[in-house]
Structure 1
Amino acid sequence: MNAELIRIGDDIVAMHAVVTDEGITLIDAGLPGDRRILQQALAAAGRRPEDIRGVVLTHGDSDHIGIAEWLRTEYDVPTFVHEADAGRAQGEKTPGASGGAMRLGPALQFFAAALRRGGMRTKHLGAVRTMRDGDVLDLPGSPEIIGLPGHSPGSVAIRVPAVDAIFVGDALTTRHVLNGSTDVQLGPFSDAPEQTPESLERLRDLPERSIVVGHGPIFHGTAAEMIAARKR
């Protein structure tokens, strides 16, 4: 299978397209104002939103579901989310979680980017398809779902061997959105951060060499190497 990974967005908030001959799987869906950057990125690859076969969410937070409802209503693209985060993606209220240490410059940059890209206009999903740990979805790239609870109850890693990548959402970050730190560390605003290190151990023996986070640059190395690099 010919497959290519396209990064859409930036190190503040990113989504990713797995582009294959059979169509596209979108991993996460950015912010509500990201329609144009998605269309531009797909056009540069000779594709269109109509080629997207499904959106797969690493978790149900508002900065990951952004344009999913637009894709569902405009193009009949289904969104897949772990059953434990289905309510979150559909607007269920969640407990607040601490973001940790903050520096003014990086925090302002994050909030400004969120405002510019429609972060105050969250569109929760009207319908979702639920998935579970161990599922291999019938979508381009055959994404494999690995439960990764901690950041949220339904956080998952999405393994796509076709592009040599594992997507870990906000379980880990390589650019802390509130203080700008580029250390490998647990993502902020986690519901149960003490659970995440144990969850990450499920990835340790996987061979893929691109670990894709929701915020920050891609980590080029294995999951074991990223776990070893994590700031304690």
Structure 2
Amino acid sequence: MPDKDAGTPRVFLYRHGQTEWSQNGRYTGKTELELTKNGENQVSASGKIIVGSGKLIDPANLAHVYTSPRRRAVQTFEIAFSEADRQALHDAKKVSLTERLAEWDYGQYEGLVTKEIRALRKDHGLDAERPWDIWRDGCEGGESSQQVSDRIDDLIQEIRAIHKGNMRGENPCDIVLVAHGHLLRAFTKRWLGYPLEFPLSLMLEPGAVGVLSYQHHNIDEPAMLVGYGFPVQE
């Protein structure tokens, strides 16, 4: 972060590592899956580089870690953070499981890939004029984009309450969100004030970390950090 923005609180978006279904492109909402071995390695690699004392995600600078209750997200938190850091965060009551970070409820589309979903919707007489877009159309028997947006907005309001009054580093206020691909991309759109159907193409690989913050130490200027300078290692 540039010197002029030093101390501004950040929100780290930590996507869980690979699962069998994410590897195959299958939509995974409520289904409980373990990380693959490769998924564990993805999280371990990113965790070693960016999580720890003096690193990008420094537990000493965290106000809270919010985690999706799905097992793949919890497992990611357990791998990325050392046992000692996890214990210290738990002891300080800085870790929460929250359904607000659960992956999109895909309803009838759970376990399907995109082409199968579009074929199913065609059988149901939908999308005659344009192809299905989850950001606009939601999921049959699952969540609409408005429902996802509402629960994300509730969490953003909670995070902004933590950040307000600490925009110049007055207190440790970084936040970590450990969750899922669609959910974290939806969170980014809402953080920036866009509706979910806004055509902002975002990518977040399994085990990867994104960063959100604010411009000009101003809570009314939420921003996305598209490039980040890592802390200097002594």
When you count strand as a share of all residues, which structure comes out higher?
Answer: 1
TM-score, L = length of structure 2: 0.31
- Kindly name which structure, 1 or 2, has the bigger radius of gyration based on alpha carbons: 2
| More relative contact order, 1 or 2 (CA 8 Å, 6+ apart) | 2
Higher helix share: 2
